[in-house]
Amino acid sequence: MSDTLSDTDVLIIGSGAAGLGLALRLPESVRCTIVSKRDLQEGNTLYAQGGISAVLDSADSLESHVADTLNAGAGLCDEAVVRTVVERGPAAIRWLAEQGVAFTQTPPTGDSQFHLTREGGHSHRRVVHAADATGRAVETTLVERVRQRPNVTVLEYHIAVDLTRTGGRGAPRRCTGAYLLDLRRDRVVAAPARCVVLATGGAAKVYLYTSNPDVATGDGIAMAWRAGCRIANMEFIQFHPTCLYHPKAKSFLISEAVRGEGGRLLLPDGTRFMPKFDERAELAPRDIVARAIDHEMKRLGAECVYLDISHKPAAFIEEHFPTILARCLELGFDMRKEPLPVVPAAHYTCGGVKVDRSGETDIPGLFAIGETAYTGLHGANRMASNSLLECLVYSELAAERIVQRLAEPCPLESVPPWDESRVTDSDEEVVVSHNWDELRRFMWDYVGIVRSNKRLARARRRVDLLRREIDEYYGNFRVSNDLLELRNLLEVADLIVQSAQRRRESRGLHYNIDFPETDPNQAQPTVLIPDNYVPSPRG
């Protein structure tokens, strides 16, 4: 069954900080529709613990924040983008505070009105936070504000199937909308729009172990690639060093702020090991810490290492990490008295859909913001707490550009109804679940923290085998949530493997034991170009 939704000015696919921030930045005269795969607040933003980096203390400086970001990015950041994001950071924090986000203020740090913490890669305290649940404070506040906006329509429990566009093969192109699967009524609907924004988050669910919620399946990246957009830097997947190691603690992150406030990483025998890997020890950037943990676990055959902050006063831990403490106590760990068992897990997608300085993709009218996008901010490694900052800044930049786009003469294009005339209901759902598991396991084994040419070749062969099976399945059966997510994860896996095979060096988050050194001649982004790519001049 298929029908067409009422047309909208801006179709925002995704409901994290980037998507909600954009909706709130647009004038109330602009009709917006926000699409969410689950409840409106479900997504990576909700689970972000640490905070948002911005220069809010006179002891800090914009130049220092820029330098730290460039250093973490290992030579692949776009410096102009870094400066734009850093310079707009303080205003973005003030905007959030005006929306009602209750950042921790007491005791303040330096001459900032907020308490600031420090995380890996930062040379100063510049991370504003709401205790240890910053993402929840941001997300729930923005959700409340969006629900009050009369110009915003919310579609929960809808997953995007694919984008629609006009033109191609040399003709001018423009994004015209998308097809959405209504999960509650099990039908595909056409959603025409004058502008479409991909704010679907990252793709870390492509790995077996991840800090991300189940919705992080790379939908926006995969759809943009199929529509003809360039994709960049997909080899740079950030593995968070410290996820709680417990069979019932699915995706539970132990914030980097724990290390920022003095937490120490220990081997099973209690020996501290980070100082021998980096002079910054536990405050080194995440790629260094994750590789060090991976190295020690493999050397010792250990199932985990330990993160210890029990040397701090109990009251300090209770004040700074109430959410983490409560969850750990539920699972039988008291971080006030003992170390926590931790392991690395896939956390953040540094690459994504290539966009310009306003978040617009290669297809006019199609934007990508947040973790879905590659802006040039993160380079070969994302510095802690720069991600929510990027979401906020680019939601503002995209809003400014979208207002300009909507002022141009642009008739709304119709979107053809979804055609289900040649498909049937599946009687073999086991194919989807089996392939889902196989994909995530071989990506973890072969394209994880440490890679090799042989491992990447093995992964590529498995991607090719699964693609044939999934394409056949997709062509013959009605779409479902699991099938759409699997199809997108496979696309993302292919992009990650292709990018990793092209980078014949080790840099940032990409470490290949066959090319262990950094090659200065490869100090540029890895850009993949789809077969249906058509360059379009900016209007």
| CATH label, 430-516, candidates 3.40.50.410, 3.40.50.300, 1.20.58.100, 3.40.50.10490 | 1.20.58.100
User: Stretch 389-400: mean pLDDT, rounded?
Assistant: 98
E strand or H helix at 466 = helix 453-476
Residue 191 contacts residue 175 (beta carbons within 8 Å): no
Q: What is the pLDDT of residue 510?
A: 97
Average model confidence (pLDDT) across the chain: 93
Asked whether residue 324 carries a pLDDT value surpassing 80, the answer given is: yes
Homologous superfamily (CATH) of 2-235+350-407 is FAD/NAD(P)-binding domain (3.50.50.60)
Q: Are strands 366-368 and 187-198 parallel, antiparallel or unpaired?
A: parallel
Domain with CATH 1.20.58.100 in the chain: 430-516
Q: In what order do the strands lie in the sheet with 527-528?
A: 373-374, 352-354, 231-232, 527-528
Q: What is the pLDDT of residue 1?
A: 45
Structure tokens at 7: 């047309």
Instruction: Specify the range with the lowest mean pLDDT, choosing from 191-200, 416-425, 524-533.
Output: 416-425
Domain with CATH 3.50.50.60 in the chain: 2-235+350-407
Give pLDDT tens digits for 155-214: 999 999 999 998 755 556 889 999 999 999 999 999 999 999 999 999 999 998 898 989
Asked whether residue 534 carries a pLDDT value surpassing 50, the answer given is: yes
pTM recorded for the entire structure: 0.92
Catalytic sites, residue numbers: 286
Domain with CATH 3.90.700.10 in the chain: 239-347
| 275 three-state secondary structure | helix
Q: What is the pLDDT of residue 48?
A: 85
Euclidean distance between CA atoms 382 and 520, whole angstroms: 20
Q: What is the pLDDT of residue 537?
A: 61
Which residues, 6 or more positions from 16, have their beta carbon under 8 angstroms from its beta carbon? 43, 44, 45, 46, 139, 199, 201, 370, 371, 391
Euclidean distance between CA atoms 425 and 431, whole angstroms: 13
E strand or H helix at 63 = helix 62-72
Please give the CATH number for the structural domain made up of 239-347: 3.90.700.10
Asked whether residue 340 carries a pLDDT value surpassing 80, the answer given is: yes
Structure tokens at 19: 């998507």
Residue 28 contacts residue 151 (beta carbons within 8 Å): yes
